[in-house]
Amino acid sequence: MKHSIVKHILFMLLLSLGLFAAYNCNKPTPFGADLLDDQLADYDYTDTLTVWCTVLPEDSLITADRSSTFDYFFCGELKDPVFGYSRSDIYSLFRLSGLSPNFKDALVDSIVMYLRYDNAGIYGDTLQPQTLRVHRLAQDTVLHWSTNYYSNQSFPVGEQLGEVANFLPQPNTDFPLLGDSTNTGPYVRIPLDNAFGQEILDIDSLDLTTDSTFWTNVRGLRISSESGGDPGAMLAFDLNNSSFSFIRLYYKYATDTITESRAYTFSFVGGNKFTGFTHDYTGSTVAPYLQQQADDLLFVQGMSGLRLKVQFPYAHLIDNIAVNKAELELTAAVLPGDNPLLEPAKQLVLTESVGDTTVSLTSDVLYSLGSALTGGFNAFGGFPEEESDNGMIVDRYRMTLTRRFQAMVDNTSGDIKDQTLFINVYPQSRSAGRAVFYGPKSTTFPAKLILKYTRVQ
């Protein structure tokens, strides 16, 4: 326990340097004075703790789905007046539905790609026309099934295999599959080049005996989409839905006497796939804030966009308290010229660095999720709640950091790394949402840490 005289001297020094602001829910008081000296106050609540926030580009993320468990993959582009330009392309393998198919002397009739929409992931304006394109990866380029690919990676492409131009996505409309009127769902159909289908049929039979040799021949695909206007749209496709996402090759043998084509289905399930993200903030509202400590406005963005570094530089100076509850409160800001179709992020989380390279959810987030990670975020928060404040209707996010802040208080090292957290959109690589908040020095609705505590003698 620190000596009270030392603490009093330290408090006076901090006060003289102007490091603490002044306000308490009961009466004006020097920032942190109630926590730095038992003789000055006996409050159990404060919302004046210093908070530093810095807007940072997100590090690269692993977006490879080698286990075929992702709900969906983004494909599209956004032209955001606040966050600039964002793009996502899908890179994917597809695999044989059974090894050693007999394609000897077969002739292609047609080849079609089907992609099932996942409405939960779609973001932006789907009432604008989209153009969806499928390219084959370039010669001497192979997407490897065993590699973890990252969000900042991409592959050169060769010939275009297919295109659906200027169509309106219909992610809420169920269509029957061709030849199967009982099986319906929302999907888009992309005819592919017959020459590509014939090339598959002509692959040497020995190269059809394993997935790896088949993949060496086909190399992999890139699926991309462009929007016809602003703000664009980020489509979401569930490539792991084997009922509606696949490539179907229709063919005949020269000796066939039947009139109908045979069909062979290639699946995306079991083949590696990943999304490559691009973000360009040139000329956007957020551009001057990047890599800067922000006081008035704060920004977060999904995909591999932006995160917030949040620091509590004087937490280690607080002594002899038990944290009953600590909440970080952020109020969403609506900026002039923003597009209302680009809705605020639905879920935020707190993360922290573990070592030099690993990022982990904080203990409060993990407690809310539970040991099986299925408990949800109700105990943590991080989602927008509509409230009335001073006659205004605002969206407010509250994030619990009770356990993590107690650890900061107990750690007296003063190392700023121990007092640093990050705010991320969740799930980062599968959310295109973004949000703007008032900063910690905003005169409107300042970002703040609300601390409820009990003194420990």
For residue 40, what pLDDT is reported? Answer: 41
Q: What pLDDT, on a 0 to 100 scale, did the predictor assign at position 112?
A: 97
8 A C-beta contact, residue 194 and residue 152: no
Which tokens is 428 given? 């980062």
Give the pLDDT score at 412: 87
Q: Give ∠ CA 360-363-368 in degrees, rounded to 5.
A: 110
- Report domain extents, the chain: 49-59+287-455, 73-271
pLDDT at 25: 35
User: % helix / strand / coil in the chain, to the nearest 5?
Assistant: 15, 40, 45
Token pair for 119: 């409405």
All residues at 6 or more sequence positions from 322 whose CB lies less than 8 Å from its CB, including other chains: 406, 453, 454, 455, 456
d(CA 250, CA 254): 14
CA angle 63, 68, 70 (to 5 degrees): 55
CA separation for the pair 191, 111 (Å, rounded): 6
Write down the pTM of the prediction: 0.88
CB atoms within 10 A of CB 400: 22
CA-to-CA distance for 156 and 146, rounded, in angstroms?
19
Q: Which residues of the chain have pLDDT under 50?
A: 1-41
Neighbours of 424 (CB within 10 A): 25
- pLDDT at position 5 is 38
The per-residue pLDDT for range 261-291, each reduced to its tens digit, is: 899 999 999 999 999 999 999 999 999 999 9
pLDDT at 43: 55
pLDDT value at residue 260 = 84
The distance in angstroms from the start CA to the end CA of the chain is: 9
Q: Tens digit of pLDDT for each residue in 389-398?
A: 988 999 999 9
